[in-house]
Amino acid sequence: MIEARGLVKRYGPTTAVDNLSFDVLPRTVTGFLGPNGAGKSTTMRMIIGLDRPDGGLVKVGGKSYHDLRSPLREVGALLEAKAFHPGRTARAHLTALAASNSIPKRRVDEVLGITGLGKAAGRRAGKFSLGMAQRLGIAAALLGDPAVLLLDEPVNGLDPEGIRWIRNLLKNLAAEGRTVLVSSHLISEVAQTADQLIVVGRGRLLAQTTVAELSARGNSLEEAFFSLTEGSAEYSASNMSYQGSPS
């Protein structure tokens, strides 16, 4: 379970996250939706303590991330595709991370197996394709067998096979009783796996709802999503008026 209360994050004059409150429940996949620049990544970074909120607080399993005794065993996060040293092998990367939280070595081979990286484990991660890098990130997130998982745009740049793999993985993780938060800017992608939705725009909560509820609001799910996020896109077409003079 993740509880955010009044989260605020400012970067200079820009307010990236503006008084954001939501709950992410276990046993279900929650889609974290919003246009680019809506504050999704910033929020996820605050959940795992990489960024310090300017206001409000966020708790994971009832605790601030900073106070977790063994963070990797409680929260697994994939926040960017390449959060590893390119010169280190996949196995060395995972072995080092596992050691930090006293996770047994055999778990490294297990997550390599789960993510299908077994044969690539001895290769330098810098040579990995984006899809393999993404799998390595997921392997790291699964290392501590955590009850809470955060994934920021996990299907970005993946081929159809990889996308299908992630969808099944997320569904299974939730079915096992875990809390799963997945961000995306594509409602159609999130609807494939998520039941619960948190929709944000310009750092504010636009709706905490379900896929079923949202699709009942319009002719289609996408239409309902667009009418919800209208006006909160970073670059809106209506702002780019045609300046040429007709001749």
Partner 1 sequence: MTTATLDRAGTHAASRSYGFRSTATMEWLKLRSVRSTPAILGIFSAGMIGLSILVLKNEHYSSMSAADRATFDPTNDGFTGLILGQLAFGVLGVLAITSEFSSGMIRSTLAAVPRRPLLLAAKAAVAGAVMLVAGEVLAFLTFVIGQAALGSSAPHATLGQPGVLRAVLMAGAFPVLIGLIGLGLGAIIRNTAAAISALVGLIFVIPLILVPLGEHLHQEIGKFMPLIMASNSLVAVKPVPGSLTPAVAFGLLCLYALAALGAGGWLLSRRDA
Q: Which residues bind partner 1 (CB under 8 A)?
A: 45, 48-52, 65-66, 68-73, 75, 77, 79-80, 82-89, 92-93, 95-97, 99-104, 107, 110, 113-114, 140, 142, 144-145, 168-169, 172-173, 176
* Closest distance to partner 1 from the beta carbon of 87 (Å): 5
* Closest distance to partner 1 from the beta carbon of 181 (Å): 14
* Closest distance to partner 1 from the beta carbon of 5 (Å): 19
Using the minimum distance from each CB to partner 1, give the nearer residue, 148 or 233. 148
SS3 annotation, the chain: CEEEEEEEEEECCEEEEEEEEEEECCCEEEEEECCCCCCHHHHHHHHCCCCCCCEEEEEECCECHHHCCCHHHHEEEECCCCCCCCCCEHHHHHHHHHHHCCCCCHHHHHHHHHCCCHHHCCCEHHHCCHHHHHHHHHHHHHCCCCCEEEEECCCCCCCHHHHHHHHHHHHHHHHCCCEEEEEECCHHHHCCCCCEEEEEECCEEEEEEEHHHHHCCCCCHHHHHHHHHCCCCCCCHHHCCCCCCCC
* Closest distance to partner 1 from the beta carbon of 208 (Å): 25
The torsion angles phi and psi of 124, rounded to 5 degrees, stand at: -65, 130
* Closest distance to partner 1 from the beta carbon of 169 (Å): 7
Using the minimum distance from each CB to partner 1, give the nearer residue, 89 or 229. 89
* Closest distance to partner 1 from the beta carbon of 42 (Å): 9
Using the minimum distance from each CB to partner 1, give the nearer residue, 101 or 156. 101
Distance CA 88, CA 122 (A): 9
* Closest distance to partner 1 from the beta carbon of 216 (Å): 32
Using the minimum distance from each CB to partner 1, give the nearer residue, 74 or 214. 74
Using the minimum distance from each CB to partner 1, give the nearer residue, 57 or 216. 57
Using the minimum distance from each CB to partner 1, give the nearer residue, 31 or 53. 53
Using the minimum distance from each CB to partner 1, give the nearer residue, 119 or 235. 119
The torsion angles phi and psi of 128, rounded to 5 degrees, stand at: -70, 150
